[in-house]
Chains A and B, each alone.
Chain A
Amino acid sequence: MNERILSVLVEDKPGVLARVSSTISRRGFNINSLSVGPTNIDGRSKMTIVTELDTVEQVKKQLNKLVNVIKIVELDPDMTIETEVLLIKVSINKDTQTLVIEKAQLSNARSVDVGQDFAVFELTGSSKDLDKFEKLMKPFGIIEMVRGGRIALQTNQ
């Protein structure tokens, strides 16, 4: 696995996301995922950035130069809890309805909304779990799907 996860503590100021993403794109870094949200500390947000092994050091150093970036921690994969969220709208009919819902339940997906010809499920888990679930639903017809960025934290500091 060549993926590395960075946990980036930033000041919650206008334009911080733009600064971070502009730094990443102008230096030509590859990133697989970026998510941002508030933390328990006032005025601080946290970004989770998933990048590749060969660029991680430079990504860290260049992001550290941003005045609004406070701290960057590379998470140790062995001590990291990582999760991602997925919302998926699947096409159903009388024949498939039960099967689809059953499969979703077995995958620990929550059904959020069920209409006459569609069902919406929500699933959180590792990227692999989400990939698997997507594959599982594909034969029934995916109408729309959205995945949130990956978020992570270390269990043991």
Chain B
Amino acid sequence: MSKELLSGAELVVRTLEYLKISTIFGVPGGAILPAYDPLYDSPVRHVLARHEQGAGHMAEGYAQATGELGVVIATSGPGATNLVTPLANALMDSTPLLAITGQVASTAIGNDAFQEAYTVGLTMAATKHNYLITDASEIPQIIQEAKYIATTGRPGPVLVDIPKDILNQKVEWIEPTHKDLPGYKPTLEPNPKMVQQAANLIKQSKKPLLYVGGGIIHSKSNNELFELATKHNIPVVTTLMGRGAFPDGHELCLEMPGMHGNYTATTAIQKSDLLIAIGVRFDDRVTANPDFFAQNAKVIHADIDPAEIGKVREPQVPIVGDAKSVLSGLIENLNGFNSDFSDWLEEIKTMQNKHPLSYNQEDSGPLKVPFVLQEIQKLTEDNAIVVSGVGQHQMWISQHWNFIEPNTWLNSGGLGTMGYALPAAIGAQAAYPDKQVLALDGDGCFQMTCQELITASTENIPIKIVVFNNGNHGMVRQWQKIFYKSRFSASELTHHTPDYVKLAESMGAVGLRITEKDEVIPTFEKMLSINDKPVLIDCVVDPDDLVFPMVPAGGSNDEIILNNEDLKKL
């Protein structure tokens, strides 16, 4: 009996089903068109985005919320170039992403054919790995390999480029196998001697501090982190990518350090004698000038990516391994150790009391974002997923929102991609239709990808959006105020700003507006009561508010600007 022949396109869809992928995000087009035909009959849900960048961020939001692979599909040429931003974003934030792109026919490659772009070349520096498929029979194996690479080790984006003639080529299905990749062997288990050395340093320290980030969330090791920290009373700072890895509100949680981190988190690092850095990369937004960073501290640095260790700061104890195994090893090695860090915790408490986060909301004055955040959080479910854009609002959310669980805070940390919030929220809501998913965005960010509101309405994805409307690129304005003598060059959006309520309505969503203090709660309540379509609140806020604390780029974390008075002294 002759075996069934399938087209490359059918193999793509069958492989997605084989890998149990339930939802993908994409935009069709010429070269990828063959793959859309079998998709028509497939149980795989396809969410039609309005722009490939949006589709990419949706897949990222899906992946960040679930901790599983996000999948995006696009056509050749502009379809692929529009994916470059989400790919670069996923690479920076270690988000597991699979991108499948159509390519012009293999016979036309290199001829400047219609909608041809050198996708593999263009995305080489924006992916963990990428492939150009040259024979349809390779499709199942390569897509499986791509998923394996994207989701293991330090996660990241992998792109598979498939020429149109290969999508039409008929071959037999060959079940993918777990083939050994000679050049790809992530180290998961840490060297036990290193873990032991780390434990010894912890025993000798007086002021230990856990400095943790996205690695905890990727390795799903928040429980181990909690056990280690609470068993031995070690305080924890969670970086922007690590918010939710340790519960806010816990007395050991100092929350976010760095450029806009709170005083205590940033200063605790400076005063610590031992940084236990796990799943973090000593990013410049955390360290400021690395020469002045944690000068009194020895460093234990554990990461699954060996290239992160020693990149910025040479550690006393380097550990390559998965955060979960590292933490379990530390717990084991510290068994029976009776810690007494009470002096250190006392010192921290004093800092917290002296310099709490603050904001000043006047009764009749313009609305401040931190105030609105405090108010709406009272009404929000504990496990709601909060998605943010990039800029002032992002920093305020990270500062003022209480993140209790991992994967509930989605943002673009490394690349700082404005426009991330709305599509990423759609992706998260597609994964969890019954959870509250809030996109808390800035107006500058919102205008970058707002067409995806149509996607949300059309696909019945009832996300809740708050656009903090200050009529400006707020963070740009803040820097111009501080560093460019208030010369607000090209940062104002007010002259041609849309009516966001009408815009939402025209795109099939509900539009609401908040301008006064007492409108916050009732309007937000109204938003939460609508669950059959997306709702947007245009929340008009103070354009002159500044995010504090602040450490200027390249400055020292010992010199934190806490408020307007500090600013005047500059």
Query: Do A and B assemble together?
Result: yes
Q: Which residues of A contact B181 (CB under 8 A)?
A: 67
| B290 touches A (CB below 8 Å) | no
Q: Which of A15, A23, A61, A66 touches B306 (beta carbons < 8 Å)? A: A61
Binary contact readout A16-49 vs B (1 if CB under 8 angstroms, 0 otherwise): 0011001100100000000000000000000000
Q: Which residues of B contact A19 (CB under 8 A)?
A: 124
| A70 touches B (CB below 8 Å) | yes
Q: Is the CB–CB distance between B149 and A18 below 8 Å? A: no
Instruction: Give Cα distance in the complex from A6 to B124, angstroms.
Output: 23
Q: What residue in chain B is nearest A25 (Cβ atoms)?
A: B125
| B310 touches A (CB below 8 Å) | yes
Q: Which residues of A contact B311 (CB under 8 A)?
A: 58, 61
Q: Which residues of chain B (271-310) have a CB below 8 Å from chain A?
A: 305-307, 310
Chain A min CB distance to B464 (Å)? 39
Instruction: Give Cα distance in the complex from A122 to B125, angstroms.
Output: 38
Given A67-B129, A67-B184, A70-B183, A62-B120 contact (CB < 8 Å): no
| B182 touches A (CB below 8 Å) | yes
Given A14-B132, A18-B124, A19-B124, A68-B307 contact (CB < 8 Å): no
Q: Is the CB–CB distance between B307 and A66 below 8 Å? A: no
Q: Is the CB–CB distance between A62 and B182 below 8 Å? A: no
| A11 touches B (CB below 8 Å) | yes
Chain B min CB distance to A109 (Å)? 39
Instruction: Give Cα distance in the complex from A10 to B128, angstroms.
Output: 16
Q: Is the CB–CB distance between A26 and B132 below 8 Å? A: no
Q: Which residues of chain B (159-182) have a CB below 8 Å from chain A?
A: 181-182
Q: Is the CB–CB distance between A58 and B183 below 8 Å? A: no
Instruction: Give Cα distance in the complex from A70 to B182, angstroms.
Output: 6
Q: Is the CB–CB distance between B183 and A61 below 8 Å? A: no
| A78 touches B (CB below 8 Å) | no
Q: Is the CB–CB distance between A69 and B124 below 8 Å? A: no
Between B120, B121, B124, the greatest number of chain A beta carbons within 10 A of the residue's beta carbon is seen for B124
Q: What residue in chain B is nearest A14 (Cβ atoms)?
A: B132
| A65 touches B (CB below 8 Å) | yes
Chain B min CB distance to A35 (Å)? 20
| A57 touches B (CB below 8 Å) | yes
Q: Which residues of A contact B125 (CB under 8 A)?
A: 22-23, 26
Q: Is the CB–CB distance between B132 and A18 below 8 Å? A: no
Instruction: Give Cα distance in the complex from A90 to B310, angstroms.
Output: 49
Given A14-B132, A22-B125, A67-B129, A61-B307 contact (CB < 8 Å): yes
Instruction: Give Cα distance in the complex from A129 to B125, angstroms.
Output: 38
Instruction: Give Cα distance in the complex from A18 to B120, angstroms.
Output: 10
Q: Is the CB–CB distance between B124 and A65 below 8 Å? A: no
Q: Is the CB–CB distance between A64 and B129 below 8 Å? A: no
- By size class, the interface of chain A is 20 to 34
Chain B min CB distance to A54 (Å)? 12
Given A15-B120, A22-B124, A65-B305, A57-B183 contact (CB < 8 Å): no
Chain B min CB distance to A70 (Å)? 4
Q: Is the CB–CB distance between B307 and A65 below 8 Å? A: yes
Chain A min CB distance to B142 (Å)? 12
Q: Which residues of B contact A65 (CB under 8 A)?
A: 128, 305, 307
Q: Is the CB–CB distance between B183 and A66 below 8 Å? A: yes
Q: Is the CB–CB distance between A64 and B149 below 8 Å? A: no
Q: Which residues of A contact B183 (CB under 8 A)?
A: 10-11, 66-70
Q: Which residues of B contact A67 (CB under 8 A)?
A: 128-129, 149, 181, 183-184
Instruction: Give Cα distance in the complex from A61 to B306, angstroms.
Output: 7
Q: Which of A11, A15, A18, A64 touches B182 (beta carbons < 8 Å)? A: A11
Q: Which residues of A contact B184 (CB under 8 A)?
A: 67
Q: Which residues of B contact A15 (CB under 8 A)?
A: 120-121, 124, 132
Between A11, A57, A64, A67, the greatest number of chain B beta carbons within 10 A of the residue's beta carbon is seen for A67
Chain A min CB distance to B401 (Å)? 34
Given A69-B183, A70-B183, A64-B124 contact (CB < 8 Å): no
Instruction: Give Cα distance in the complex from A19 to B124, angstroms.
Output: 7
Q: Is the CB–CB distance between A62 and B129 below 8 Å? A: no
Instruction: Give Cα distance in the complex from A10 to B183, angstroms.
Output: 8
Binary contact readout B176-211 vs A (1 if CB under 8 angstroms, 0 otherwise): 000001111000000000000000000000000000
Q: Which residues of A contact B132 (CB under 8 A)?
A: 14-15
Q: Which residues of B contact A18 (CB under 8 A)?
A: 121, 124
Q: What residue in chain A is nearest B158 (Cβ atoms)?
A: A67
Q: Which residues of A contact B129 (CB under 8 A)?
A: 66-67
Chain A min CB distance to B496 (Å)? 37
Between A11, A62, A65, A70, the greatest number of chain B beta carbons within 10 A of the residue's beta carbon is seen for A65
Instruction: Give Cα distance in the complex from A69 to B306, angstroms.
Output: 15
Instruction: Give Cα distance in the complex from A137 to B17, angstroms.
Output: 67
Given A14-B132, A70-B182, A64-B307 contact (CB < 8 Å): yes
Instruction: Give Cα distance in the complex from A58 to B460, angstroms.
Output: 47
Chain A min CB distance to B397 (Å)? 31
Instruction: Give Cα distance in the complex from A70 to B184, angstroms.
Output: 8
Question: Chain A residues in contact with chain B, CB under 8 A?
Answer: 10-11, 14-15, 18-19, 22-23, 26, 57-58, 61-62, 64-70
Closest 9 CB pairs of A and B: A61-B307, A67-B129, A70-B183, A67-B184, A70-B182, A69-B183, A26-B125, A62-B307, A67-B183
Instruction: Provide 6 A-B residue pairs closer than 8 Å at the C-beta atoms, listed in order of the A residue.
Output: A10-B183, A11-B183, A22-B124, A23-B125, A65-B128, A69-B183
Given contacts A11-B182, A22-B124, A58-B307, 16 further A-B pairs with CB under 8 A are A14-B132, A15-B120, A18-B121, A19-B124, A22-B125, A23-B125, A61-B306, A61-B311, A62-B307, A64-B306, A65-B307, A67-B128, A67-B183, A67-B184, A68-B183, A70-B183
